Amino acid sequence: MLPVVLDGLYYFVADDDIHGDELWVSDGTASGTQMVGDLYPGGFGSDIVEIIPFKGDIYANAWIDGNEFELVKIDVSEGAAEIVKDIYPGDSGYPQFLYVFGDLLLFLAEDGGHGYELWKSDGTTSGTKLIKDIYPGTSQGAQFFLGRMAVDDIFYFSADDGVNGIELWKTDGTEVGTKMVSDLYPGSNGSEPYRFGEFKDRLYFSADDGSGYKPWYTFISKKIHPQAYFWNPVALLRNQKITMMGKKKFRTTNDS
């Protein structure tokens, strides 16, 4: 798990052999390093898997009441935590792959009626909800473990709708705005896109259209009809003169 920084302080998860895995904070000094709070009292620990700064607080997926593993909001000033929403009443929603997307927190979770799907939260109980049941029923639709990346106001990810296999999808945070970008591998096999990267007006990724994994890209601009295209860097180098024009930044994700 990666540590995070909030308001100049360093937050991380540690076990002091007394409280179990809990959230800690440090200002870089021994005296300023301490446990934020015993979120799951006793020696079991809250078993936090992910932490992420969001709207001035730390959000995490953790056990805090001994019964359910859910999305929690941690008030670092008070050392207290509360479940944002009981996503799967009587069981655990197991939220994972937390990602800040504008004023929303995106993640995967299950509620008992659907499989692992795309959820969003604005930090409130009423504002925490399923965005879309991509794979109808109890099967998993969104596949964040393959890749996910936000570019401007669009969030790209891999998903399986039960018909086309795992393909490239996008969302603007609404149900109607959540849709497949392109069916690169026609049929139910799916191209399983992963290793997302953004450069200028394109989102690059690797995918298998049935002939092996190759580099692909899709235009990010809303003015261009959404579609994915094969990108052949070898042909590009053979047929075009390449001139270095200063340093260019290529942003990628580290999910794969």
Q: What residue segments make up the domains of the chain, in order of their start? A: 1-136, 143-256
* 124 phi and psi angles, rounded to 5 deg: -115, 160
pLDDT of residue 123: 96
Residue whose pair of structure tokens reads 């050392």 in the numeric block? 79
In 3D, which of 48, 25, 45, 20 has the Cα closest to residue 35?
25
CA 220 remoteness from chain centre: 19
Residue 27: strand pairing partners? none
Q: What is the mean pLDDT of each run of 10 residues along the chain (256 residues)?
A: 91 93 95 93 87 95 83 92 92 94 96 94 97 94 88 92 94 96 91 88 88 86 46 39 37 46
pLDDT of residue 221: 61
pLDDT of residue 33: 97
Token pair for 94? 């197991």
The Cα–Cα gap between 46 and 89 comes to 19
Is 72:65 a contact under the CB 8 Å cutoff?
Answer: no
The Cα–Cα gap between 165 and 194 comes to 14
Using alpha carbons only, what angle is made at residue 114 by residues 113 and 119, rounded to the nearest 5 degrees?
120
Kindly give, in sequence order, each residue whose CB lies less than 8 Å from that of residue 197, ignoring residues fewer than 6 positions away.
149, 203, 204, 205, 250, 251, 252, 253
The Cα–Cα gap between 34 and 26 comes to 7
Q: Which CATH number fits domain 1-136: 2.60.40.10, 3.40.50.300, 1.10.357.10, 2.130.10.120?
A: 2.130.10.120
The Cα–Cα gap between 5 and 15 comes to 19
pLDDT of residue 67: 67
Token pair for 1? 């798990």
In 3D, which of 84, 83, 69, 64 has the Cα closest to residue 23?
64
The Cα–Cα gap between 95 and 92 comes to 8
pLDDT of residue 224: 35
Strand bridging mode 21-26 / 9-15: antiparallel
pLDDT of residue 244: 31
Q: Which long-range contacts (CB under 8 A, 24 or more apart) does 180-186 make?
A: 181/156, 181/218, 181/226, 181/227, 181/228, 182/218, 182/226, 182/227, 182/228, 184/208, 184/209, 184/216, 184/228, 185/209, 185/210
Residue 70: how many other CB atoms lie within 10 Å:
25
